[in-house]
Structure 1
Amino acid sequence: MKKIVRYLTPAVLAALTACGGGGEEASDSGSSNNEGQSEQSQQESSNDKGETITFGKTSWTSTAAPTQIAKQMLEEAGYNVEVELLDQPVIWEGMQSEEIDVFMDAWLPYTEEQLWSEYKSDLQKVSTSYEEVPTGWVVPEYVEAESIADIKENPEKFGGKIYTIGAGAGIVNTSKEVMADYNLEEAGFELLPSSETAMISELKSKISNEEPVIITGWRPHSMFVDYDLKFLDEPKENFKYDNVYVLSYKGMEEKYPEAYEILSNWSISVDTLEQMMYEYAQNDVPFEELAADWIEENPDKVDAMMEGQE
């Protein structure tokens, strides 16, 4: 087994340099520096498999950090890695056609049940990122409502609006079911798909004035670090606790066995991921840098993921 030669990929070097790392090596003599570059070039050359792994990534911040960590680790293992920013249904279709190799953020068995039913004959669960995480409708803690039944009584209090993310996402489809099951359109509510960024902007604006607001929410997400929020009770249980999986198409383990082996050992805690998302949202720390830091701080976990490398 080859343990990871830590932090020598271009992506990781760039991230560490941004943090101020690498200054000591830069002050070495020219001959020593050239020798180090030669050794690094030889290492990269020996690791280069000449194969490209393509990740599908949504605009959700919960997808960004895991994708970036996996990208840097697969680059260290010698793969070229590309990341395609796509709508969620397009990613699943791309995996079916093997144009997309991996998706790091599939919510199953409930939130993305429709997509899984459509594509499960061609796709597989590679590993579990984290388990038992909630989705649902979220309000600030200062809002008196505790359940869907409570908001139905006072639609004008919320402007008749429920803010959500892009159409086609599992949480949007489930929200449509909630709208129908509780007759919320007849009560005066409207579900408004937009983007995660627009939804969070609306939440921030309303909280700054301590106004009532309803959004679709899920954990992990930095909103639960930023604000005091609560999920509304939903007695008909359209929203259920999910696990989050890494997906690929069936046969990836034969096409890219080492990449598959690395990804099959992947996991991350919800608290860790939310903190990374918070650093990105509040302190403008790039996910590339956050991923490099995670790799640096978790050597045992990284080595375990890299088991199986020749």
Structure 2
Amino acid sequence: MIWWAKRAVLLILAALVVPAVPARAMDPQSCRPVRFGAVNWTDVTATTAVVSRLLEGLGYAPSTRIMAVPDIYMALEGREIDAFLGNWMPTMEADLQPYVEDGSVEVIEAPNLIGAKYTLAVPTYLFEAGLQTFSDIARFREALAGKIYGLEAGNDGNRLIRTMIEGDAFGLRGFELVETSEQGML
């Protein structure tokens, strides 16, 4: 397991186990269901599954709905779900901000991946051939078939890529953004 994933799991365990015994005795039956929203990304799936398993052991009844990021924030606002464990800041800020401003969604300010990067990636053979920065992408148009693979439709990262293409940042005008999944992108 990657070091940051181990650290995240340990932090989650500590946060849940320490108050677990007294909290369980005080929770009314209406608090037993815990509804998670999740995107179909490996890290969020794993984190949500671990927390769900821990909650089950404490007598809760967790459930998970897979949705796109904007839909998750709308579901939080509408109280259709209770929590989302995959908030990537600052990239999701544009989607999240209206809900924070109107008070319908609260962000718990405890980042668990300090220094993590949310960026584009390339296969090793292209990296070794010189595709190492955003400014290198245009030179590799042919090798990339003029395509940049993003995540699922509605994802904030896709919006950032689309903005770069439309604004011709790094000479990307004419590239096609292909909305796919984490698995398809990788």
TM-score (norm 2): 0.74
Unaligned runs of 5+ in 2: 1-16
Matching residue within 132, 137, 144 for 1:146 = 132
- CA separation of 1:3/1:48 partners in 2, compared to 1, >3 Å: closer, same or farther? closer
* Matched-pair contact (CA < 8 Å) for 1:47–1:77: no
Q: What is the match of residue 53 of structure 1?
A: 34
Larger RCO: Structure 1 or Structure 2 (Cα < 8 Å, ≥ 6 residues apart)?
A: 1
Q: Deviations over 1:105-162 (max 9, x none)?
A: 1011x21121122211322222333222101121123322222222213411221111
Where does residue 9 of structure 2 map in the other structure? none
Matched, 1:111 2:94: no
Contact persistence 1:48–1:78 (CA under 8 A): no
* Identity in percent: 27
Q: Which has the higher strand share?
A: 1
Distance in 2 between residues matched to 1:148 and 1:3, nearest whole Å = 46
Contact 1:49 1:78 in 2 (8 A): no
Larger radius of gyration: 1
Contact 2:36 2:82 in 1 (8 A): yes
Classify the secondary structure of the residue corresponding to 1:68.
helix
Q: 1:164, 1:172 within 8 Å by CA — same for their partners in 2?
A: yes
Q: What's the offset of the Cα at 1:65?
A: 1.1
Partner Cα distance (1:104, 1:61) in 2: 12
1:137-176 alignment, distance < 5 Å: 137-143=120-126, 144-176=130-162
Residues 137 and 172, structure 2, Cα contact 8 Å, conserved in 1 = no
Alignment correspondent of 1:83: 64
**Residue 124 (1) aligns with residue 129 (2):** no
2:184 aligned with 1:198: yes
Secondary structure of the corresponding residue to residue 65 of structure 1: helix
Distance in 2 between residues matched to 1:163 and 1:171, nearest whole Å: 10
Aligned to 2:83: 102
- Offset at 1:183? 4.2
Q: Retained in 2: the 8 A contact 1:59–1:85?
A: yes
Query: The residue matched to 1:162 in structure 2 has which SS?
Result: strand
For structure 1, which runs of at least 5 residues remain unmatched after alignment? 6-45, 201-310
What does residue 64 of structure 1 align with? 45
Structure 1 contact 48–79 (Cα < 8 Å) conserved: no
Q: CA deviation at 1:78?
A: 2.2
- TM-score for both structures, normalised by structure 1: 0.46
Q: What's the secondary structure of 1:106's corresponding residue?
A: coil
Partner of 1:129, secondary structure, is: coil
Q: What is the alpha-carbon root mean square deviation over aligned residues?
A: 2.5
